[in-house]
Structure 1
């Protein structure tokens, strides 16, 4: 059985970051949800321990005013996991963390690593395809994280973000997650965009 890359001491250190008061969505509940999905689909991953590390680190640095959270989180992973795993594997972990900025599958080798990254990105977006009340709570939590943004700017900016996902041919990269979440995700996104447009008067 493979060994976790995230020792208990490191889990405690990362958990403290996720416990920050300004994290209304990007906190430990999000990490635990992703770890739960990892266990549910563990047999679908070629390197589940690497993906576990991605989950723990991908939002470790989170400042809603910053544009480089994912890059800084990847750098933190490189620092904390140096010497714990090989350089090529650590590169894959870091590149997958960085990919959560755009939710575009990174160009990493081998192909099994790309599939692992695609599954991870789909897990990260699975909140979009949850029941309407869960999705609405997620939207409200993200809004609280961006409480500093004035309402007109939020309405325009959030609407654009949601539209980029809705306009994709597929929101999810893998058939596993498309079959489970795609239809509900499109309904949730459409409903949220309609509500934002109603606020803006469009």
Structure 2
């Protein structure tokens, strides 16, 4: 996929996320109004509320990971909030290290790397995101891994015959790295997986 196609796909991703966040926010507002009224609370409302919260968190994550990138800065509080909300209730914990605002394109790459690690750590674990002197390291720590060598090969510039939608983050990260003038480096160890750029 050429650079123009990547940019077009990112704009499509941004548009979809932008258009979905409003109705989900409206549903959430409606649930809050129901909570303030005499409406009986029950498992149904709890399930709807939890589902809306999960959908909203994932869309916020996808908006960064799959949306259009720029040099606009994202503050630590916003990034930590998005990561925390999108991983809430899951098997993975994510620790985001950078204290200063970071450019959106770099956070986008970090989010894609987090998704690559999430795919490879289906039994849970901890992901640490660090940035020192502009060099990013996203590492996953777990005693149990499920590493698909073909998918990880994509990060090294290799081709795969077929790519499932659930694994698009590997191809996209490999495609956007050259645009950001970054080279991806990976390390696969028994209890640690790392993606650096």
Pairwise same-fold verdict (TM > 0.5): no
Q: TM-score, normalised by structure 1?
A: 0.29
Looking at CA atoms only, which structure, 1 or 2, has the larger radius of gyration? 2
Structure with the higher strand share, 1 or 2 = 2
